Amino acid sequence: MNKKFKLALIPLAVSLLLTGCGESNKAAQAGDSAVKAKTEAVSTVQPSATLEAGSIVVSARDVADRAANWQLEQLGNLSYIPESHRAKSENPKFWIQASFYIGLTRWAETTSNKDYLRYIEEMAKEQNYELLLDRPYHADDHTIGQTYLWLTEQTGNKDAYKPTQELFDKILANPPKVGLEMLDETSTTQNGSHFEGNCQDRWCWADALYMAPRTWLKLSNVTGDPKYFEYADKEFWASADYLFSDKYGLFFRDSRYFDMKSENGKPVFWGRGNGWVFAAIPLIIDDLPAGHPSRDRYIELYKKNAAGLMKLQRENGYWPASLMDPDIVKTPEVSATGFITFGLAWGVNNGILTDARSKEIVEKGWHAIEDAVEPNGRVNWVQHVGKSPDPVKKTDSQLYGVGAVLLAASEMVKWED
């Protein structure tokens, strides 16, 4: 992120209207006229009259705008993130920040918020619409492409997807031939970038199904060329069939977890790992062309995963970091809860989940999310970067957790109390 863009972030303060924070207003006045014009346009966003129907709808608008704008204000200063992942978090092209933009694009589109659109557009231009190329096959490094392609859909800017198309054409010309088993002995570091195993040239871990397939789908949608999603659809199902447990209705994070047991003797299913996939499925379904032959299969997987997840919500509304052993990490965990609440709310809103219990679970999940967001918009209780159910502190926060909250809010603003 260059210096100019950092300066543009400092005075961004939509939360002024909600919290009355005078210091942010002073910061906005300190900017030059161009920066002031941009940030003031964002900070005057008001809830639309059509979104005042019920208390949850009002809450969703309030929570999401506070969270989004707190996070945007912090992008120039991520000192609250552990140093081990701070530099990567500062890079908009890396999956951590790119996951935040997926939530922000969904929120901007759902609320027709042109100020967020302009903000996202400027970020993408600053990055020259580029992807990271040190690991050309790695799903994580395809994540930001979803935002670039979303911009093409919103603005008609075809330049926004050209670098993504160039990379994906190279992948199609030389598709990976590795298997899906995660083998620790094949772990490597290349060009300073880590591979847990060589299977990560494919989508051999649960997170990947959120990061990459939708990018390929959107590229087919904007170009009209089905070859991109034909590849992604095949790879998605290879991975989903490999990692999904029909017995439990849950996804193993990767093959190393197939036989792993928690202290209570039950299988280890990571909360956020399942949240990644469960959020990805509705996003993919919404982007599928009408009549696509895989639609029913995605919906069937969604229903199985939803059934498995709904059994595991805790009394406090959160899903545990370790889904089948909530005593391993007893604290709240918002990234899993945000993604899962989004997925379930989508199912209710689209008439796929029709029983009263589903609605109760969603509302309970949303109220848990409300409790995790500070008045200034900071999202607490977000497990840091990892691949397993790790401890969480209240002060832990990360960009993808905010993205999950924004996804959940994008469905809750459609809610019928």
* Amino acid occupying residue 32: D
**Is 233 in the active site?**
no
Q: Which residues are bridge partners to 251 per DSSP?
A: 244
CB atoms within 10 A of CB 98: 27
Q: Residues near 152 by Cβ (< 8 Å), separated by ≥ 6?
A: 158, 160, 161, 222
> What whole-number distance in Å separates Cα of residue 103 and Cα of residue 410?
8
Phi, psi of 140 (to 5 degrees): -55, -35
Provide DSSP, 245-281: ETTTTEE-SSGGGTT-B-TTSSB--BHHHHHHHHHHH
Q: Are residues 214 and 284 in contact, defined by beta-carbon separation less than 8 angstroms?
A: yes
Q: Of 207, 233, 287, 325, which is the active-site residue?
A: 207
Angle (nearest 5°) at CA 232 between 230 and 237? 100
* Crossing angle for the helix pair 145-155 and 162-173, to the nearest 10 degrees: 130
Residue ranges in 261-395 assigned as alpha helix (H): 271-287, 295-310, 334-349, 356-372
194 SS3 class = strand
Active site residues: 207
